[in-house]
């Protein structure tokens, strides 16, 4: 027999791995947990212990903070607009990517992926400078407001994210489906809406979620492009710079609660979808077996 490492050394390795994983997640969640606790403690400086007494006042203070609420509304609105812009644009970007080749493809790729690597600050600055000058050219002030600039600035790189999601799914698309539909007399537009889009549906969903979240939590681009307006993150940044206050911790707790609820919901939906897919497969398998039986019999 070849000399395998001793069993005991394997056990040691396993224990060490487990310990490291634990340590890692402690590092990942520790800071957030500490912040979470301060949201329920009474002192006005965010403090974990001594835990003086349990309170929900900081949540009440948060809900009554007009700037924060206004910023939150703007953030939702901007996030929605960014989804509406960057999902269709990313989809178009991905489809075009599958139809260009060789040199044209690498050149195109370089241009559309560059915003992913450009620091957000720079995207924000260039967006403001460009559109400010556009007023001079077009003579309208319509282009120069915080919401418009933020949607354009954020979409410029979020559309690249969504494009990458669509691209990953498109790579597994069987073009035979498309050709079959056309051979059966469907127009290209019909193929797009009845073959391609249904196939891409999960990707559309993921892209929309990613786009919304990226927009909602963006600060670097927004702080420039929002001009005199405000979003949740810009209000938050101002508050954090002024000083520390447990109502900010309360906001974090609220965000985490919503996220966990969302993640659980997502997981439930996914499991249901998985189950359905398995059922369909089984039904198809059964039908196929019947067919085969019919042919041989």
Partner 1 sequence: MHSAIGKVFIFGLPAIVTLYFLATAWADRRRLGRAAPKPFFKRNGIAIGVYLIAAVGLWCVFAIVLPQLYMVDYSFRPKLPVAQMGGPKDLYTLDNYHYFLFGSTRSSAEWNVVHIRALVQTVLISIVITAVNFAICYPIAFYMAQVARPARVRLLMLMLIAPYWVNEILRAFAFRILLGTNGIINRTLIEAGVLGEPLDFLGADVGLYAGLTYAYLLLMMFPVYNAIENLDRNQIEAARDLGAPWWHIHLFIVMPHAKPGIASGATLVFMLNAGALAAPLVLGGPRSLWFTPIVYDRFYQAFNWQQGAAYALILLLTCVVFVLGVLKLFRLKLGEIAR
Q: Tokens for 138, please give them.
A: 């077009």
How many chain residues are in contact with partner 1, going by CB under 8 A? 90
Question: Is 121 near partner 1 (CB under 8 A)?
Answer: yes
Question: Is 71 near partner 1 (CB under 8 A)?
Answer: no
Question: Is 139 near partner 1 (CB under 8 A)?
Answer: no
Interface region with partner 1, contact rule CB under 8 A, candidates 28-36, 55-63, 199-207, 286-294 = 28-36
Q: State in angstroms the smallest separation of the CB of 153 from partner 1.
A: 8
Interface region with partner 1, contact rule CB under 8 A, candidates 52-60, 62-70, 116-124, 272-280 = 116-124
Q: Tokens for 107, please give them.
A: 């050149």
Question: Is 106 near partner 1 (CB under 8 A)?
Answer: yes
CA-wise closest residue to 81 among 229, 179, 212: 212
Residue found under tokens 């670097």:
220
3-state secondary structure of 186: coil
**One residue of 89, 203, 211, 226 binding partner 1 per CB under 8 A:** 89
**C-alpha triplet 44, 45, 51: angle, nearest 5°:** 85
**One residue of 67, 219, 227, 229 binding partner 1 per CB under 8 A:** 219
Question: Is 76 near partner 1 (CB under 8 A)?
Answer: no
Question: Is 117 near partner 1 (CB under 8 A)?
Answer: yes
Restricting to residues 180-209, which ones interact with partner 1 according to CB under 8 A? Answer: 187-189, 192
Residues 52, 118 contacting (CB under 8 angstroms): no
Q: Cα–Cα distance between 290 and 295 in angstroms, integer?
A: 9
Q: State in angstroms the smallest separation of the CB of 50 from partner 1.
A: 9
Restricting to residues 220-249, which ones interact with partner 1 according to CB under 8 A? Answer: 220, 223-224, 233, 236-237, 240-241, 244, 248-249
**Pick 58 or 224: Cβ nearer partner 1:** 224
**Pick 194 or 290: Cβ nearer partner 1:** 194
Question: Is 64 near partner 1 (CB under 8 A)?
Answer: no
> Which residues are paired to 54 by β-bridges?
41
**Pick 10 or 290: Cβ nearer partner 1:** 10
Q: State in angstroms the smallest separation of the CB of 60 from partner 1.
A: 19
Question: Is 17 near partner 1 (CB under 8 A)?
Answer: yes
Q: Tokens for 217, please give them.
A: 């939590």
Residues 122, 47 contacting (CB under 8 angstroms): no
**One residue of 260, 265, 284, 286 binding partner 1 per CB under 8 A:** 260
Question: Is 93 near partner 1 (CB under 8 A)?
Answer: yes
Element (H, E) at 20: helix 7-38
Residue found under tokens 């599958």:
98
**Pick 171 or 290: Cβ nearer partner 1:** 171
Q: Cα–Cα distance between 195 and 193 in angstroms, integer?
A: 6
3-state secondary structure of 51: coil
Among positive and negative, which fits the CA dihedral 233, 238, 243, 247? Answer: negative
Residues 85, 71 contacting (CB under 8 angstroms): no
Question: Is 27 near partner 1 (CB under 8 A)?
Answer: yes
23-48 residues labelled b (16+ CB within 10 A) or e (exposed): eeeeeeeeeeeebbbbbbbeeeebbe
Q: State in angstroms the smallest separation of the CB of 160 from partner 1.
A: 9
Among positive and negative, which fits the CA dihedral 17, 19, 24, 28? Answer: positive
């Amino acid at each position: 027999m070849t000399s395998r490492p001793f069993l005991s050394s394997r056990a040691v390795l396993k224990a060490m791995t487990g310990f490291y994983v634990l340590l890692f997640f402690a590092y990942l969640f520790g800071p957030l947990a500490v912040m979470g606790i301060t949201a329920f403690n009474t002192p006005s400086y965010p403090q974990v212990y001594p835990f003086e007494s349990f309170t929900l006042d900081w949540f009440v203070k948060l809900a009554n903070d007009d700037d924060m609420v206004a910023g939150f509304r703007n953030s939702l609105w901007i996030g929605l607009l960014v989804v509406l812009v960057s999902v269709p644009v990313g989809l178009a970007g991905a489809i075009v990517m599958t139809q260009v080749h060789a040199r044209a493809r690498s050149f195109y790729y370089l241009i559309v992926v560059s915003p992913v690597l450009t620091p957000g600050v720079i995207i924000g600055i260039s967006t403001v400078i460009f559109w400010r000058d556009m007023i001079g050219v077009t003579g309208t002030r319509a282009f120069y407001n915080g919401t418009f600039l933020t949607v354009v600035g954020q979409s410029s790189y979020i559309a690249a994210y969504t494009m990458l999601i669509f691209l990953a799914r498109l790579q597994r698309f069987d073009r035979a489906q498309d050709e079959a539909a056309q051979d059966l007399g469907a127009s290209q537009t019909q193929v797009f809406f009845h073959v391609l889009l249904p196939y891409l549906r999960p990707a559309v969903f993921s892209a929309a979620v990613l786009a919304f979240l990226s927009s909602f939590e963006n600060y670097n681009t927004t702080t420039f492009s929002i001009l005199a307006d405000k979003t949740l993150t810009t209000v938050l940044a101002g508050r954090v710079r002024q000083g520390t206050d447990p109502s900010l911790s309360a906001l974090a707790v609220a965000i985490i609660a919503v996220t966990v609820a969302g993640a659980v919901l997502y997981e439930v939906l996914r499991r249901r979808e998985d189950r359905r897919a398995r059922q369909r497969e089984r039904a198809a398998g059964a039908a196929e077996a019947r067919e085969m039986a019919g042919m041989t019999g």
